[in-house]
Structure 1
Amino acid sequence: MTIFTIDKVRKSFSNGEVKEEILKGINLSLKEGEVTALVGASGSGKSTLLTIAAGLQPASDGRITFEGENMTSMNSEQVRKIRATKFGFVFQFAHLVPFLTVEEQLMLMLDVSETKISKPEQKREVEKILKLVEMDHRKNAYPSSLSGGEKQRVAIARAIIHKPKILFADEPTASLDSKRSKDVMILIRDLTKTLNITTLMVTHDEEMLSFADHIIKMSDGHVLVNLNNIS
């Protein structure tokens, strides 16, 4: 089922009297339980498209629809509410809080996302998610003692602990070696299927595309190729 659509989205910036158009009428739809990868050269517009889709910056024109609601007509507080409760985010670096344990990182996310469950229930949810990402044995560890791959697993757990509808991943494997990159992509793919999440991912790593259901190749602000992954 389609849960998210991008319709004729444009984005431009003005630099003095010069207007630069970064996105030039992008159309895209995302379905539940699928991973869609955005690829393209630096400057192609893929990261701009991701941040607009995630409500981190507004489009200059066009329409973004999430669960039947027009996000482009919402005010900033309404968009913030969706980001906090319905969206999850994973970035190139884990950005874990250095003085919090793995368990505490996830507990904090439940508070930030305004999940209204008791502390005992929160702990049970944390335990469940940490088992899914195979990090339950490290729940009392601090970030300084974790490997790069372990930190990214915790970051993924933090991104999905509040049961978001959409996971936005911006270069989630860029800081990892090839083995850890593959492990993280397998995890993202499996969680997308198991939890029926919709995942939109930016990547520059061609090897990671085999884990995506759809591949969107962008160039100069346009969708160059939109294909189903048959590999």
Structure 2
Amino acid sequence: METFKLQQIKKSFFIEDREEVILKNIDLSLNKGELTALVGASGSGKSTLLTIAAGLQQATDGQILFENQDLAKLSAEQIRAIRAKKFGFVFQFSHLVPFLTVEDQLTLMLDVADKKINKAEVTRVLQLVGMDHRKNAYPSSLSGGEKQRVAIARAIIHQPEILFADEPTASLDSKKTEDIMALLQTLTKELNLTTLLVTHDQEVLHFVDNIVTMQDGEIIQTPVQS
């Protein structure tokens, strides 16, 4: 079921009187319960497309359709509210708050999303990512893979509709990469998430449902259902 759609997305800026086009009329549809990967060389536009879809930067033109509204037409305050309540984010680095325990990382996210703090739910989500036994640990004592697991738990604790993951395995070794990708695949199915992943690693693509290849700001291969 289609839940998120980009239509004719364009991103450009001007250098003096010359227009530099970053994205060229991108069309992309994302479905519930599916993990879609954006792949392409550095500079192809994949991370720019993800940040525009996530409302982290504005497109020059085009529509972002979600829950019967065009996000491109909303105010910055409205976009922030949607990001806090409806979107989850995982990045290359975990960006955990160093002075908060694993459990507190998640309760902070619930507070940001204006949701009731439920310790039982926090424990359940930590169990989903295999980190409930480290709930009282601080980030400094966690491995890179453990930090990413906590970051994923933080991204889903408020029950988002869309999960955006920008190079979430780029700083991990091959074993931890496999583990994190398997986790993202499982959570996408079990929680019926719509997941958009940016990756440069061709070795992880067997975990995804759809592969979208970008080159020079354009999609050169549309999603293929697995």
TM-score (norm 1): 0.96
Residues 27-42 of structure 1: pairs in structure 2 closer than 5 A: 27-42=27-42
- Between the aligned partners of 1:187 and 1:5, the Cα distance in structure 2 is 25
The one-letter code matched in structure 1 to 2:13 is F
Give the Cα–Cα distance (whole angstroms) in 1 for the partners of residues 162 and 108 of structure 2: 20
- 1:229 deviation in Å? 5.7
Gaps of 5+ in 1: none
Structure-2 residue corresponding to 1:13: 13
Whole-Å Cα distance in 2 between the matches of residues 181 and 68 of structure 1?
35
Q: Does the CA-based 8 Å contact 1:212-1:229 persist in structure 2? A: no
Give 1:1-231 correspondences, 5 Å limit.
1-115=1-115, 117=116, 119=117, 122-228=118-224, 230=226
Describe the SS at the equivalent of 2:20.
strand
Separation (CA, whole Å) in 2 of partners of 1:20 and 1:143: 41
CA drift of 1:53 comes to: 0.1
5+ residue gaps in structure 2? Answer: none
Q: Secondary structure at the match of 2:222?
A: strand
Partner AA of 1:84 in structure 2: A
Q: 1:181-204 CA distances to partner (integer Å, 9 max, x unpaired)?
A: 000000000000000000000000
3-state secondary structure, aligned to 2:80: helix
Which residue identity does 2:86 align to in structure 1? K
- Aligned-residue offset at 1:160: 0.3
Which contiguous aligned blocks of 4+ residues in structure 1 show a shift greater than 3 angstroms?
Answer: none
CA distance in 2, matches of 1:107, 1:227: 36
- Residue type matched to 1:183 in 2? D
CA deviations on 1:100-155 (whole Å, 9 max, x unpaired) are 1000110111001111x2x4xx2111101000001000000000110000000000
Cα RMSD over matched residues? 0.9
| Distance in 2 between residues matched to 1:17 and 1:182, nearest whole Å | 46
SS at match of 1:83: helix
- Distance apart, 1:16 and its partner CA: 2.1
Number of matched residues?
226
- Identity among equivalent positions (%) equals 64
Q: What is the one-letter code of the residue matched to 1:149?
A: G
